[in-house]
Chains A and B, each alone.
Chain A
Amino acid sequence: MSELSKDQFKIIGYKEENINKIERPTISYWQDAWRRLKKNPIAMMSIVVLGLLVVLIIVGPYIQNYDYITMNVAKKNQGPTGANWFGTDNLGRDLFARTWVGARASILIAILATGIKLLFGVAYGAAMAHFGGWVDELLMRIIEVINSIPSLLLTILIMMVLGNSFPALLVALSITSWCNTARQVRGMIKQLRESEYIYAAEVLGAGPLRIIFKHYIPNMIGILILDASTAIPSFIFTEAGLSFLGIGLKSPDISLGVLISLGQQSMDFYPYQLLFPCLILCVIVMAFNLLGDGLRDALDPKLRR
């Protein structure tokens, strides 16, 4: 057996300077999530539908240049035609324009209420986790008391006190919903604070701001996005329900709930007046729900197979 010497070998296929190069691009959490979401046809379809809906609630009322409040007595209760795509209501107002203006109000309320829920919930949860001790105990008790009332009752009571207006509805919807977010955030921060990599970061001399922005927020944002994606459809539904019962917004303010409630009054003779707002509401809620399911699969590393 002869000795093997270095000059018997020849380097082929790669250059010396490329030894430490990483061949595949590094994928960040968000790129990875987006890649997974793109593979999910249902979620992508929901995004397209939601994009379409956003365009329609912005420009929908102007497509045919009908105003949502201009009445036209000559065109009362007409079914869907080329001139009025969704027909007209009992005062001759164009339902296509009204539906999109109503959907605009519904979605706006849902998004704003979700924003309030997240902001307040995160602040509250962070305060609970940060202070601990009796502050934590007290804040937790407050959540428990709020959670022990059926939330619809509290919402209705708040609406009674504040009256049927847009800001009142926002307050009433968000008054109970932040509790879950706060609990989740409290739990997550407590868990993160005990984890080794946060210790490591502290030992390496990272300041609190760096830890918050580099570790806490990236770790929590996925869960918060999921929270938002389930909250939006439920707010839309609650708003519609309250307005239907006459406790939310009231005509002449319009939202999908108001339109549905007006539609019910004339549904025996003019079913399309009920059908179109219902259909749009279902499409919105379903798109958000399906997108939420897709996001859950994409964002939550624990669910990955």
Chain B
Amino acid sequence: MGKYLLRRVLEMVLTLFLIATATFFLLEAVPGDPLAERADKMAPEIRANLYAKYGLDKPMLERYVITMKGICMGDFGESFVYAGQTVQSLIKTRLPVSARLGLQQVILGVGVGLLLGILAAMKRGSVWDYLVIALSVLMISIPHLIFGLLLQRFFAGSLQWFPTIGWPEGSDLWLGGWEYTVLPTLTGCFTYIATYARLLKTSMLDVIGQDYVLTAESKGLSQGRIVRKHILRNSFIPIITQLPMSIAMCITGSFFIESIFSIPGIGQYYVLAVNNQDLSIIMGETVILAAMYIIVLFITDLLYVVVDPRITLTGESK
């Protein structure tokens, strides 16, 4: 176990190093001068100072070493476009916003999805079953980009029930300003509802056909007890292992939702940085998002073992 963990951590560090290197050289290949706009009307010596400050006067390989050293020390550099804005300060102010949006989506989406999944599996072949399946096909087929825009247009635009854009700030950051969060949360959670309803239904139907469920029935256990203790418990394995991937999906899903509703989170800023060609921010954010993603994948692998004792980490025995 210890050996496995050590190997995985080393692999993760190596992967992250490769990603950072690839990102650096990809961004080097982006055409144009990232400081051109700012340095446009400056005197030559001030311009030279500005370039020196960002290290753009040095050759590429030297800058590569400086950037990588910075990443190791947790220093991702300063924005090319907004002076004084660093990746660290960005993460500090914007990550909580994205985290709240993501959490609300996952809690609501997974909760409702699981309930619908249980409903569909227990009332198999009934109207409820078909309703849940039809609903989840519909939810998967409507891209959340469009769903968000339509919600925004009708509930915020025509009906004016909720604000069109914005996000609670300051003291309301975590618990408050709910009216701002309703539409973005709904937009994001539909994918989860559909995914989890389908996943739990399939998984429960698998379990219902197992011999031990028949045994439990023939022992005379009550229906509720069979569902809770025998069926649900065993059908939760794919759910638990899917969960980290859903959280990872929030990271990229937030790109669209935060852009639609102008939410000041990390996703919206990434898009802004791409459109502004703010290379240092893109570099830093890419590395941080990739790191989060890799850690989530790692947790998924660990969870497999925790929830299902039949799986071993090293994969030697089955």
- A residues near B (Cβ < 8 Å) are 144-145, 148-153, 156-158, 160-161, 163, 233, 237, 240-241, 244-247, 260, 263-264, 267-268, 271, 274, 278, 281-282, 285-286, 289-290, 293
Interface 0/1 of B138-150, CB less than 8 Å to A: 1011110110011
Interface 0/1 of B44-58, CB less than 8 Å to A: 000000000000000
A267 touches B274 (CB 8 A): no
| Chain B, interface residues (CB within 8 Å), range | 35 or more
A156 CB contacts on chain B under 8 angstroms: 270, 274
B19 touches A244 (CB 8 A): no
A144 closest partner in B (C-beta): B15
Q: How far is the CA of A145 from the CA of B23 in the complex (A)?
A: 13
Interface residues of B in 89-130 (CB under 8 A from A): none
Q: How far is the CA of A50 from the CA of B132 in the complex (A)?
A: 25
Contact with A289, one of B140, B252, B274 (Cβ below 8 angstroms): B140
Interface 0/1 of B277-309, CB less than 8 Å to A: 100001000100110011001000000000000
Contact with B145, one of A240, A271, A289 (Cβ below 8 angstroms): A240
- Smallest CB–CB gap between A303 and chain B, Å? 12
B141 touches A286 (CB 8 A): yes
A290 closest partner in B (C-beta): B137
Pairs across A and B, CB under 8 Å, 27 listed: A148-B294, A149-B286, A149-B290, A152-B252, A153-B290, A156-B274, A157-B26, A160-B26, A160-B274, A160-B277, A237-B145, A240-B143, A244-B256, A245-B255, A245-B259, A246-B275, A247-B275, A264-B149, A267-B153, A267-B157, A268-B157, A271-B153, A278-B150, A282-B142, A282-B146, A289-B137, A289-B141
Interface 0/1 of B257-279, CB less than 8 Å to A: 00110000000001100110100
Known: A150-B251, A160-B277, A278-B146. 17 other contacts (CB 8 A): A148-B293, A149-B286, A149-B290, A150-B252, A153-B290, A160-B274, A241-B255, A244-B145, A245-B274, A247-B275, A260-B149, A264-B260, A267-B157, A282-B146, A285-B143, A286-B142, A290-B137
B26 CB contacts on chain A under 8 angstroms: 157-158, 160-161
- B residues near A (Cβ < 8 Å) are 15, 18-19, 23, 26-27, 29-31, 137-138, 140-143, 145-146, 149-150, 152-153, 157, 248, 251-252, 255-256, 259-260, 270-271, 274-275, 277, 282, 286, 289-290, 293-294, 297
